[in-house]
Structure 1
Amino acid sequence: MDAATRRARLLLLLVAATVPAGLCQTNPDDVAALRAVMGAWSNYPSSWNSGDPCGAPWDGIMCAGNGRVTSLRLSSVNMQGTLSDSIGQLSQLMFLDLSFNSGLSGTIPASIGNLAQLTTLILAGCSFSGGIPKELGNLLQMTFLALNSNKLTGTIPPQLGLLSKLFWLDLADNAITGSVPISTGTTPGLDLLTNTKHFHFNKNQLSGTLTGLFKPNMTLIHILFDSNQFTGPIPRELGSITSLQVLRLDRNQFAGAVPNITNLVNLNELNLASNKLTGSLPNLSSMNVLNVVDLSNNSFTASVIPGWFTNLTNISSISMSSARLTGEVPQELFNLPQLHEVVMSKNQLSGTLTMPGSIGAQLQTVDFQENVIVDVAGISNYKKTLL
């Protein structure tokens, strides 16, 4: 059974286990918990003023046939207030989504860790502050955790590494500090998340190295670690995660040579810009589906533009500013059928820049500013932006 079929069956089971609010009477404990949660909010839906959450019904509420609340979804309704500890009393809750209510603030209550049935927690786009509760590590059924775009601080709890069913982990766009926790003999870490597809940790203040984080048996699709303060080398184990499609490590302080990543044949976006990388340019010749590459602002060994670029027939954007490129620009670069932009400013490219007669129809921007190119030939062949 493939992954898509498994997800479809899981959705059908979830739907079968719930009934629309209005067909049953709510469990009294759940009524009390919801009213306590509502008491910390303003601007909640008017339906929440009626008598019975499942029987009335209340907007955003789904219930099981036994009157237990299984889902609370109130995304983008402009609510204000805090999230009450009483949320942890909804013991059968499977789905909690309060995302994109920027007026929701305060801390994320540790009592969420009591929701043993919870599979999905989406608190993205709010104004929650304070640390990520370590009690989230109790939620062993969790598959989707999105806390991005808040004001969270502190470190990543190593207990998140216990969430072995996790598919999606998004902590991006906060003010989280410290290193990414790695397991030891006595404590868990995120290296244990071998079933997770998405690591979104970008736009934080994370630091330290990534040594020990990645394992060959991981099934990651997206690694978004850009805009942090990571140091040390790019782990060589990354080159073994062949499922990877998007790798963003830009705007950090990674140093040393780029490891062998030729096995990443499913990669469609690679961004290593604005680090302290040295050594040779990475060999991308096997990445036939690569769409976007940015290697700008590093300290690679001076070299000519790699010839294998012309084999990347799906490439749409090439950015290699301040990458210590030398020599002439190969005409074949401009023939790539999907190429939309090529930016190679602030290098030592020289000679004549020749625009061939057969330029890719998608090409919109060509930027070779601040090089030592002495002439441009075939300019009449190109009608778009040439810098």
Structure 2
Amino acid sequence: MLTYCVLLLFNSGIAGMKLSWMKRLEIALGSAKGLTYLHELANPPIIHRDIKSNNILLDDHMNAKVADFGLSKLLGDESKGYVSTQVKGTLGYMDPEYYMTQQLTEKSDVYSFGIVLLELLTARSPIYKGKYIVREVKEAMGKAGDPNGIYTILDRSLGSLQTLGGLTKFTSLAMSCVQDSGPDRPKMAEVVRELESIIDLAVLSQDVKSPLTFSSQDTGKVGDLYHHDHLHPYGDSVSDASSLSMPFETELRR
């Protein structure tokens, strides 16, 4: 039975909700595990093709779930490693290599996931005030590619930098996911391992017992993580493979 998720990742219906650094890391890890299941444990493998923040839902316990398989593709011929298909996806999240070649691979999902990671860092949509988030981050990092440069466009609601353990590694991971060439991007299983190590660093630098803060004075306002209030519809399905010792199990609504 499909568990209905009551919270969207960014456009929350709960007024005044702020996602802490640790909670953002947990959301990233949960989503990454879901994609790893689709890519490596599903038979045949599934390429989601529309990974974006509005397709990552949160359940009552704030567990992240990958949703909306309306554009997903089965990787029938695993030896080829790609599916030739008409280009579809969401502007700002779409893999530019897929757009140019019309060859969809698992690394296309990795690129889109990298954009989500950058959203978690900056609280900005992929195209913000006419600027593309990847370009903005690259400019902030400078010619030397210094991940510390992310501080200039970091979401201010995250608070003190001293509490953001693993921030530099997280930034580097996000940028590795949005490399121009698919082969230069990590696999989702590698992303999972890196996020787990980043969470270990974060545990050392902040209190993990208070992942969320709420303000009763903000009743009726949109959640703070995003700067716009356009709500997107829920997807048809959720990925949850807990039966495979992972927090996701794919259930495609027929």
Check whether TM > 0.5. no
- Greater helix proportion: 2
> What is the TM-score normalised by the length of structure 2?
0.23
- Greater strand proportion: 1
> What is the TM-score normalised by the length of structure 1?
0.18
